[in-house]
A and B are shown apart, each in its own frame.
Chain A
Amino acid sequence: MLFSSAVVVSAWGYFLYIGVIDPNGGVNILWPLFGISNQILAAIALCVATGILVKSGKLKYAWLTALPLIWLVIITSTATWQKLSSADPRIGFLAAANSLSDKLAAGVLSPDKAAVAPQLIFNQRLDAVLALFFVALLWLIVIDMLRVCMRHLRGQAVPPLSETPHYPTQLEEAWARD
C-alpha cells in the first residue's frame, strides 16, 4: 500500500510541480488535458451503453447515447488535433515546447526561467503524447463497439449480454419509500 500510494502520489505530484513552476500559471497546460481525458472517459461509458442497447435489440433507441457519443468524439478529437498541430504556442503543446526551446537556445530567458525551461519543454511533449494516447484509446474502443454492433446485426457471434436474470423483489420496504 505504501509503495503503490507513493507511485500514484509521485505521478500527480509531478504534474502539480510542473504546474506550479510554470510562469503561465499551469492551468493553461493542465486543464485542457484534464478536460480531454474526462470527456474521453465519458465517451467510453457511452460506447459501452450504445453497444449494450444495440445488443439488446434496441437499435432504434441507440441514438440516445450515440448522439452524445458522436459529439464527444468530435470535440475531443478536434481539441487533441489543435493541441498537437497548432502553431500558436498558447494552444499547441508541441509549438509551446519548440518556442521555449528556441528561446532557451537564443539565451533570451531570465536565469530563473531558463532554470526550469528544460522541465517545461519535456512536460509539454509529454502532454502531447498523453493527449494522443487518450484519443487513440477512444478510437480503438469506438471501432471495437461498432465491430461488435455490426456482427450482432448481421447475426454473427458476439459476447453475450451479461444482464443478470430477473428475480422478483422481496423487499417490504415501507421505510425506503416515502
Chain B
Amino acid sequence: MRTNLFSLLVWAGVVLLGAAAIGGIALNRGEPINALWFITAALCVYAIAYRFYAAWIAATVLSIDATRATPAERLANGRDFMPTNRWVVFGHHFAAIAGPGPLIGPTLAAQFGYLPGTLWILFGAVLGGCVQDMVTLFFSTRRDGKSLGQMARDELGNIGGVAALTATFLIMIILIAVLGLVVVNAMKNSPWATSTVAATIPIAMLVGLYMYKLRPGRVLEGSALGVVLLLLAVAGGGWINQQPGLRELFNHPGLPLAFAVIGYGFAAAILPVWLLLAPRDYLSTFMKLGTVILLALAIVWMRPEIKMPALTQFVDGSGPIFGGALFPFVFITIACGAISGFHALIASGTTPKLLSNERDIRMIGYGGMVLESFVAIMAMIAATVLDPGVYFAINSPAGVVGSTAAEAVATISSWGFPVTVEQMNLLAQQMGEATLFARTGGAPSLAVGMASIFGSAFGEHLLALWYHFAIMFEAVFILTTLDAGTRVGRSCCRTCSATCGNRWGALRGIPRCCSAAPWWSRPGVISCISA
C-alpha cells in the first residue's frame, strides 16, 4: 500500500512536470525559452507513455504471453533465427531504425518555428510511431518473423501484398537519393569534410578485417580501434585543409562528388557485408548513442537558450527552405522522428527473429522508437539554438535568397531575422569552412548547431573540430544507408523481375540486408557480447 502511494505520488509529479514543461514551451511568446524545458517535456512524455500506454497495449490489446515460444526459439538455426539477449536486440533494432532521418527532418522543419515540429515529434511518436513499431513487431513475432509484405498478403490478400512490396522498393530509391544529396551538399567545396568522410571507408574496412579475420570475435577491441581512427580522421581532415596541395585533391563541386557517391554505392553494395557494411553499422551505433548522450549532457550543463520563435511567418507556406504550409508539410517533413514506415520493415525483419521472449516487445518496439524520437528532439534543439538569421542563411538555397552573400543577407534580414555578412564569414572561419551560405540539406546547419553547443560546453577553440565531427557523424549513417538500401532494393528488384508473380519467399531476404546483416549472428561475436 505504501509503495502504491509512493508510486502514485511520483507519477503525479511526472505528469505535473511534463504538463508544466509542455505548457511553458507551447504558451511562451516573446521571451527566450531554455532548451532544458524541451528535454524535460520530452522525458516526461516518454516516461508516462512508456509506463502506462505501452503497458496497456502490451497487456490488454496485444495480450502478450511470456510463456509462448518465440520464432527465435522454435526455429533457431544459428543464422537468422537465434534467441538473443534483449539488450543486444535493442541495440540492433535501434541501429537499424535510426538512420540519419531523425536528424535532418527536424532541422528542415525548424523553418516553421520550434513549436510545431516539437509537438509532432513528441505526440506523433508516442501515439503513432511507437505504436506502429510495437504492433508490427508483435504481429510479425506471432507469424514466424514474416515481413510486412507477407503479412499484408496473408491477412488482406494479394492487393495488400503487392502494394507493400511496391511501396518498399520505391521508398528505398527515394530515401537513398535524398540522403545521398544531403551528404553531397555537406561535402561540396569542403576539403575537410570530404577527406574525413572519405577516410571513414578504409577505416570501416580495417575494422571489418580486424574483427572477422585478424582477431575474430574481439568486438570491443575492433570498435575501440575504429572510434580512435575516426576521431583521428576528423583531426587529419583539418590538417589536410591547411595543406595547399592536398587541399585541392579534396576540393570538389557537387557534380563530381555525386558521381563519386554513386560509384561508391555500387562498389559497396557488391562487397561482402562483413568487410564494410557490418563494421560501419556497428561503429555508427556507438557513435550515435555516444554523441546523443553527450549532446543531452551538454544541453543540461549549458542550458542554451532557444533563439528561434515558436512560430515563424513561414507557416503560410512561403518558407525559404521548402515550400508548403504548416499543415500538412510539417508532418511530411518530420517522418523518422515521429512515425516512419521504414521501421515497419525492420520490426518485421531481423528483430522478431532474434527476440527471445514476447515480453521484451514493449521495450524493443516501443522503447526503441522513444529513443529515436529523443534523437529528433536533440536535432530540433541544435537547429533552434542558432540565431534564426544564421539558420536561414545556411539552409536557404541560392535560388531563393540570391546567389551573392550581400543579396542573401539582405533578403534574410528583410524577413525580420537579422544577419550580417561579417557574422557568417566569422562563423565559417570558426568552423573551418570557406562559406556557410546556402549549404542546404540540413547537415551543415545541424553540425553548426551541435558544434556551438559542444563548443560552449567544452571550449570555443575546438569549434572547427566539432563541426567536422558532426558532419562525419552524419555521413557515417548516410553511407551505411546507401549501401544497405541498395541491397534491399536489389532484393526487391530481383523478386519482381524473377517472378512478376507470387514468389514471396524471396521477400524474406529483405530484412536481413535491411538491418545490415547482424554482426552478432556469428557465434564468436555473440558469445563475446552476451558473456
Using a CB–CB cutoff of 8 Å, the interface residues on chain A facing chain B are 1-2, 4-9, 11-17, 19-21, 23-28, 30-49, 51-53, 55, 58, 61, 64-65, 67-68, 71-72, 74-76, 78-79, 82, 88, 90-91, 130, 133-134, 137-138, 140-141, 144-145, 148, 159, 161-164, 166-171, 173, 175-178
* Contact yes or no, B357 A37, CB < 8 A: no
Given A9-B262, A44-B164, A48-B139, A162-B154 contact (CB < 8 Å): yes
Query: Cβ of A32 and Cβ of B258 under 8 Å apart?
Result: no
**B132's contact among A5, A6, A46, A141, by CB below 8 Å, is which?**
A46
B173 and A11 form a contact (CB under 8 A): yes
Residues of B within 8 A of A133 (CB): 170
In the bound assembly, the distance between CA atoms of A103 and B450 in angstroms comes to 40
A105 to B480, CA, bound (A): 42
Contacts of A40 in B (CB 8 A): 167, 171, 341
A31 touches B322 (CB 8 A): yes
User: A4, A27, A134, A178: which contacts B181 (Cβ < 8 A)?
Assistant: A27
State whether A35 and B332 are in contact (beta carbons under 8 Å apart), knowing that A12-B180, A48-B152, A164-B142 are contacts in the complex. yes
B156 touches A19 (CB 8 A): no
A67 to B73, CA, bound (A): 34
- The dominant DSSP class at the B interface is helix
A78 touches which of B157, B177, B328 (Cβ 8 Å): B328
Query: In the complex the two chains form, is B160's CB within 8 Å of A141's CB?
Result: yes
Inter-subunit contact B127/A68 (CB<8 Å): yes
**Structural contact, A173 and B83, CB atoms closer than 8 A:** yes
Whether B341 lies near A43 (C-beta < 8 A) is yes
Task: Annotate B498-516 by CB proximity to A: 1 below 8 A, 0 otherwise.
Answer: 0000000000000000000
Closest beta carbon of chain B to A25's beta carbon, Å:
4
Taking CB as reference atom, which chain A residue is nearest B494?
Answer: A4
Q: Which residue of A lies closest to B151 (CB)?
A: A48
Q: Is B3 an interface residue (CB 8 A)?
A: no
Q: Is A48 within 8 A of B486, CB to CB? A: no
**Nearest chain B CB to A41's CB is how many angstroms away?**
3
Residues in B lying within 8 Å of A, measured CB to CB: 57, 60-61, 65-71, 73-74, 83-87, 101, 104-105, 108, 127-129, 131-132, 135-136, 139, 142-144, 146, 148, 151-152, 154-157, 159-160, 163-164, 166-168, 170-178, 180-182, 184-185, 254-255, 257-258, 261-262, 265-266, 269-270, 317-318, 321-325, 327-329, 331-336, 339-345, 348, 356-357, 397-400, 438, 440-442, 482, 485-486, 489-490, 493-494, 497, 530
Q: Distance (Å) between the CB of A68 and the closest chain B CB?
A: 4
Q: Are A137 and B139 in contact (CB-based, < 8 A)? A: no
Q: Across the interface, do A169 and B69 meet the contact criterion of CB distance under 8 Å?
A: yes
**A68 engages B328 (CB within 8 Å):** no
Residues A41 and B328 in contact, CB atoms below 8 Å apart = no
B493 / chain A contacts, CB cutoff of 8 Å: 4, 7-8
Residues of A close to B357: CB separation below 8 A: 169, 171, 173, 176
